[in-house]
Amino acid sequence: MYNPKSLKAEEFIDHGEIVETLEYAEQNKHNRELIEEILEKAKPKKTGRGVECAGLSHRDASVLLACDIPELNEKMYSLAKEIKEAFYGNRIVMFAPLYLSNYCVNKCVYCPYHYQNKQIPRKKLTQDEVRAEVTALQDMGHKRLAIECGEDPVNNPIEYVLECINTIYSIKHKNGAIRRVNVNIAATTVENYKKLKEAGIGTYILFQETYHKESYEKLHPAGPKHNYAYHTEAMDRAMEGGIDDVGLGVLFGLEMYKYEFAGLLMHAEHLEAVHGVGPHTISVPRIKKAADIDPSVFDNGIDDDIFAKIIACIRIAVPYTGMIISTRESEACRDRVLDLGISQISGASRTSVGGYAGYSPEERPHDTEQFDVSDQRTLDEVVRWLMGKGFIPSFCTACYREGRTGDRFMALCKVGQIQNCCHPNALMTLQEYLSDYASPETRKIGEELIAKEILKVPDEKRRQRAIDYLEQIKVGGKRDFRF
């Protein structure tokens, strides 16, 4: 029986409820009146406390996803843009993945790290190698990492992950520092989540891969990940362990996208119902080619139009949740979805173990790669590209460091402080990047953008302070100001 408050996976991701939702969406996909009503409900509204959005239930959002009336789809895209603009403005947070180890005891059929793949060498970074990788990432300008690691209690026990996190935070190379380490490791125990929390992680990310239990079990035929309930209930254990920023995601292409979409939103509703806070982020990876993996054998692939619609509908349904797109996607695809709701992108990513240190921007080791990277530009190129499109690349990690976790973004929104807080923080961290790492051309474009954008901070005192801080970063060599 469907129950969002239940702690049992099969009750909060109830198959029957998803099937009924999809039927309801199909029946109403031409229902103009209902669709207009849903769009109206989801619009940002001005309240005494600032701008607020109600979001949508998985049922309503599924109707939007199914809608095939072209002009209403256009309205949907405009609404997604409006919501994005209201809460995220033109800021895009930057991050990079860091692969620690590709040892894995699971047999996920879509991932080249599955234990039966003999085509790829197995590698695990030593602490010296972690230092080298992090130094290389700092030298690019990154401040926020997502660490990735296969599941292997012998080769990658929790102690290894904790040691790596410790090493990462300890490295201060020139003006560099990694200020937020997000962690993407296998589902684990409450005890281990507590340890991750104590180590100071940012978001705990775990992709569900698919919410369809039967498919899930087939796609994960062996290893601890085969256990659907243990995997699906991981975020509840993470929250019980004190981690209040969790990141959801499915791997689009494994199952029917409409099914995954409803499941994803039901998972978000469940977290909200039980823990009072929804997911911090949602990632939208699509299956890609890799060693021993041919994406064409999965017959649920989605094209760029559907992909864009999914992103717009997620933006409308969960307006306060950050949305992440990786370098799996091409420049053209990333370009299209930035306006529709994406708030974080990776840049200059290497998806292999030890892919950063010792390689020039053009060199790219492929031997231990988890998937093909479509967008192969350098961070400087990505930053310049974003600014050329009017976006502000942000290296901000302020909330996490100020202890504004959990529903903090909501709190910022509710007191109408986004533009007084996120905006100057984004600009100050961008100025750090420009001063320390950018090419002269990128720096010039960036400093012109900052001069224009800083005037948009509404509070006069805050604006003046930010202008003063920017000067201290640029001329005085100071770093790490934040609101």
Residue environment code for 319-347, b if the CB has 16+ CB neighbours within 10 A, otherwise e = bbbbbbbbbbbeeebbebbbbbbbbbbbb
Say how many residues touch ligand SF4, by CB under 6 A. 21
Helix or strand (DSSP H, E) at 51: strand 50-52
Q: Name the residue nearer to ligand SF4 (CB basis): 62 or 394.
A: 394
SS3 47: strand
Q: Work out how close the CB of 468 gets to ligand SF4 at its nearest, in angstroms, rounded to a whole number.
A: 18
Range in contact with ligand SF4 (rule: CB under 6 A) among 266-274, 311-319, 420-428, 460-468: 420-428
Q: Name the residue nearer to ligand SF4 (CB basis): 16 or 200.
A: 200
CB 2 within 8 Å of CB 39: no
Is residue 399 near ligand SF4 by the rule CB under 6 A? yes
Which 130-159 positions form the footprint of ligand SF4 (CB under 6 A)? 150-151
Instruction: Name the burial class of residue 21, with classes exposed (0-12), middle (13-18) and buried (19+) by CB atoms within 10 angstroms of its CB.
Output: buried
Q: Name the residue nearer to ligand SF4 (CB basis): 76 or 100.
A: 100
Q: Work out how close the CB of 378 gets to ligand SF4 at its nearest, in angstroms, rounded to a whole number.
A: 23
The DSSP line for 282-316 is EE--B---BTTB-GGGSTT---HHHHHHHHHHHHH
Q: Name the residue nearer to ligand SF4 (CB basis): 127 or 405.
A: 405
The DSSP line for 130-180 is HHHHHHHHHHHT--EEEEEE---TTTS-HHHHHHHHHHHHH---TT----E
Let me know the angle formed at the C-alpha of 95 by 232 and 306, rounded to the nearest 5 degrees. Answer: 60
Give the Cα separation of 422 and 350 in Å (integer).
28
Give the Cα separation of 272 and 56 in Å (integer).
13
Q: Name the residue nearer to ligand SF4 (CB basis): 4 or 347.
A: 347
Per-residue binding string, ligand SF4, 423-442, x by CB under 6 A, is --xx----------------
Instruction: Name the burial class of residue 401, with classes exposed (0-12), middle (13-18) and buried (19+) by CB atoms within 10 angstroms of its CB.
Output: middle
Q: Name the residue nearer to ligand SF4 (CB basis): 186 or 277.
A: 186
CB 17 within 8 Å of CB 2: yes
Per-residue binding string, ligand SF4, 225-244, x by CB under 6 A, is x-------------------
Q: Name the residue nearer to ligand SF4 (CB basis): 273 or 291.
A: 291
Q: Residue 318's Cα: distance from chain center in Å?
A: 14
Is residue 185 near ligand SF4 by the rule CB under 6 A? no
Range in contact with ligand SF4 (rule: CB under 6 A) among 133-141, 198-206, 391-399, 460-468: 391-399
Nearest residue to 341 (alpha-carbon basis) of 320, 365, 368: 320
Is residue 398 near ligand SF4 by the rule CB under 6 A? yes
Q: Which pair of tokens denotes residue 80?
A: 């997604």
Q: Work out how close the CB of 256 gets to ligand SF4 at its nearest, in angstroms, rounded to a whole number.
A: 20
Helix or strand (DSSP H, E) at 303: none
Q: Work out how close the CB of 34 gets to ligand SF4 at its nearest, in angstroms, rounded to a whole number.
A: 34
Residues in the chain: 483
Range in contact with ligand SF4 (rule: CB under 6 A) among 63-71, 294-302, 359-367, 422-430: 422-430
Q: Work out how close the CB of 397 gets to ligand SF4 at its nearest, in angstroms, rounded to a whole number.
A: 6
Q: Work out how close the CB of 114 gets to ligand SF4 at its nearest, in angstroms, rounded to a whole number.
A: 4
Q: Name the residue nearer to ligand SF4 (CB basis): 312 or 398.
A: 398
Per-residue binding string, ligand SF4, 91-120, x by CB under 6 A, is -------------x-x-x--x-xx------
Range in contact with ligand SF4 (rule: CB under 6 A) among 198-206, 274-282, 313-321, 417-425: 417-425
Q: Which pair of tokens denotes residue 216?
A: 């899930």
Chain contacts with ligand SF4 (rule: CB under 6 A): 104, 106, 108, 111, 113-114, 150-151, 186, 225, 394, 396-399, 409, 412, 421-422, 425-426
